[in-house]
Structure 1
Amino acid sequence: MLLTLNTADASPLHEQVAGAIRRAIAEGECLPGDRLPPARDLSQALGVNVNTVLRGLRSLRDQGVLEFRRGRGVTVAAGADRRSALLDRVADLVADAARLGYSRADLAEMIRGAEQ
């Protein structure tokens, strides 16, 4: 798995780490059940602090994309490829809405209206 971060990106590094892993999963580089390299190895490869990587991994765990298992390390969760792609699209939608001046509440109202 080859991950890279965009140094010109203003978003927090832990979010960039999570996004890079999400993209790797969505693009099929990591499949459900695959084990990720240890956080220390990822931090060295990306040139960031290990705590930054851990924070990104924890956010992906909280989103249901990764599973942490004692003795097995961090693995890609079942269905993570579909969930990961959807989360990327949602993040893009929120960013687009913000650029156009819409709040998250406005966006939520638009989504509720689209359900009808």
Structure 2
Amino acid sequence: MRESESKSISVLTRGIRIRVPTTLTVGSTANVTYLEYPLGIVPIGTEPSGFFGGGNRQTLPVKVVSVSNGISTLEITSKFSNFSDNQLMQKLDDGSFGVFNGVKAIYYKN
């Protein structure tokens, strides 16, 4: 048997990506809001205790990584894995954008 030097490799994986139907500047940064059980997702009174109006709110940093055909792709730059990748947001009545995955939601306000 022969001894050899130990080596290690660090790999930085990309974060979850979300698409927004608006043109943003590539390389710019912003924040999105993650929320579980926001109003309107489930009938009032059926959400878990303490989640009325939403719970587990998190402000997540994002970076615009690309823009194509008027749709910007945002990448969450923190360690966050509670949402499906590559979801397309919808424009909401108040002008903000939202995407929903079961009882989870992510909102972006330009």
Which range, TM-score by smaller chain?
under 0.3
Alignment TM-score, normalising by the size of structure 2: 0.21
Between 1 and 2, higher relative CO (CA 8 Å, sep ≥ 6) is seen in 2
Is the helix fraction higher in 1 or 2?
1
**In terms of Rg, which structure is larger?**
2
